[in-house]
Chains A and B, each alone.
Chain A
Amino acid sequence: MILGIIRLSVVAFFVMLLVYFVLSWWSRSVRRKKLGIEWDEEIKAGDREAFIEEGLEDYDGSLRRKLIMGVFIVPYMVIGVLVYVVNFQ
């Protein structure tokens, strides 16, 4: 039991780590592209690169980015709920 749950937690953690990195890379990349489009279509003045960097810094502090952390929390919560529902209800 103890070994099984540790093995599951560790494997799940590494899978979630991978998912987290891929998701945050994707999300940041999409954001960068959107900022570029915004500059091209609406702003068209000043330094394009600086505008994008500034936008990405705002994004780094945003709730949206922090939501990706949910990748770590949700699966463990689901496991907890399942253990309770299947065995103790």
Chain B
Amino acid sequence: MHYIKRAFWTVFWVLLIVFLHYTLPQRDIARIVETEVRRVDFGENSIFWAGADTGQDGTGVNRDIRFVNTVRKTTYLFGLIQTGRERPMVYRNEDTGWGWPPYFKLDSSNLQTEMADNKSTANDPQWVVLTHYGWRNEFLSIFPNAVGVRPIEDPNTRLIPYFNILILIILAGLMLGFYRLTQWFRREKIDPIVDSASEKWDGVDAYADEKRAGFRGWLDSFKGKKKRY
């Protein structure tokens, strides 16, 4: 039981961290190479795509999707430390609309224009800070969804994720509150019921013992034994 409990909570925390890593915004410093639109047929990876533009019909089996091809500065430790290398990165640019994740992004077309406006070449780079959520994974052909873009002068700036820190603090507070609620519920509402139920059960048990003793005694009377109590 102890191991099952521990395994359950390990899985829970790992899933939560993975979920947050996918959903919370991250920022990359990148140089936009090209913006394009191409058709995508969704398959096994369909869960990693958002819906059609808000207000449009989303029932089709495939869709044209806006993409932004970039070269980005790679980082580690949640984007806090730059490695000094540059790697290609492709973002998709889709509305999240009123669904999940709750970015309420409705301006994909405008964002695509801004992206195109900041296009540059390797010889004369215009670096941008690109906010996005999601993962790039070549095995699944999935792309992070760009949410915002702004030009930046110094590509070696360290971006501190204040927004994520705030969200995580709020989330921790909510979880602590929920934990205290469940503890209170167990202490004040469940335990008294269980206690009174086990008292009742003790009573039933004692009564059964008494009755059984009586029945035994009655049976024993046939065998000429003496009553036992």
Interface residues of B, dominant DSSP: loop
| Chain A proximity mask over B52-69: 1 for CB below 8 Å, otherwise 0 | 001100000000000000
At the interface, yes or no: A43 with Cβ under 8 Å from chain B? no
At the interface, yes or no: A82 with Cβ under 8 Å from chain B? yes
List chain A residues, Cβ under 8 A from B181: 22, 26
At the interface, yes or no: A30 with Cβ under 8 Å from chain B? yes
In the complex, the answer to whether B184 meets A30 with C-beta atoms within 8 Å is yes
The residue from A4, A8, A33, A86 contacting B103, defined by CB atoms under 8 A apart: A86
In the complex, the answer to whether B54 meets A1 with C-beta atoms within 8 Å is yes
| Chain A proximity mask over B101-131: 1 for CB below 8 Å, otherwise 0 | 0111111001000000000000000000000
At the interface, yes or no: B147 with Cβ under 8 Å from chain A? yes
In the complex, the answer to whether B54 meets A82 with C-beta atoms within 8 Å is no
By the criterion of a CB under 8 Å from any partner CB, how many residues of chain B are at the interface? 17
At the interface, yes or no: B188 with Cβ under 8 Å from chain A? yes
In the complex, the answer to whether A86 meets B98 with C-beta atoms within 8 Å is no
At the interface, yes or no: B155 with Cβ under 8 Å from chain A? no
CB within 8 Å for A1 and B104 given contacts A26-B184, A29-B188, A86-B148: no
Closest to B56 in A: A1
The residue from B97, B103, B184 contacting A82, defined by CB atoms under 8 A apart: B103
A29 to B16, CA, bound (A): 31
Task: With a 10 A CB-CB cut-off, give which of A26, A29, A30, A86 has the most chain B CB atoms.
Answer: A86
At the interface, yes or no: B203 with Cβ under 8 Å from chain A? no
CB within 8 Å for A87 and B97 given contacts A1-B54, A1-B55, A22-B181: no
| Chain A proximity mask over B161-181: 1 for CB below 8 Å, otherwise 0 | 000000000000000000001
At the interface, yes or no: B99 with Cβ under 8 Å from chain A? yes
In the complex, the answer to whether B184 meets A83 with C-beta atoms within 8 Å is no
Task: With a 10 A CB-CB cut-off, give which of B99, B104, B147, B148 has the most chain A CB atoms.
Answer: B104
In the complex, the answer to whether B184 meets A87 with C-beta atoms within 8 Å is no
| Chain B proximity mask over A59-89: 1 for CB below 8 Å, otherwise 0 | 0000000000000000000010011001110
At the interface, yes or no: A45 with Cβ under 8 Å from chain B? no
Closest to B148 in A: A86
Given contacts A4-B98, A29-B184, A86-B104, 16 further A-B contacts (CB under 8 A): A1-B55, A1-B97, A1-B98, A4-B97, A8-B99, A22-B181, A26-B184, A30-B184, A79-B102, A79-B104, A82-B104, A83-B104, A83-B106, A87-B104, A87-B106, A87-B107
Measuring CB to CB, which residues of chain A are less than 8 angstroms from any residue of chain B?
1-2, 4-5, 7-8, 22, 26, 29-30, 33, 79, 82-83, 86-88
Measuring CB to CB, which residues of chain B are less than 8 angstroms from any residue of chain A?
54-55, 97-99, 102-107, 110, 147-148, 181, 184, 188
Q: 9 A-B pairs, CB-CB below 8 angstroms?
A: A4-B54, A5-B98, A8-B98, A82-B103, A86-B147, A87-B104, A87-B106, A87-B107, A87-B110
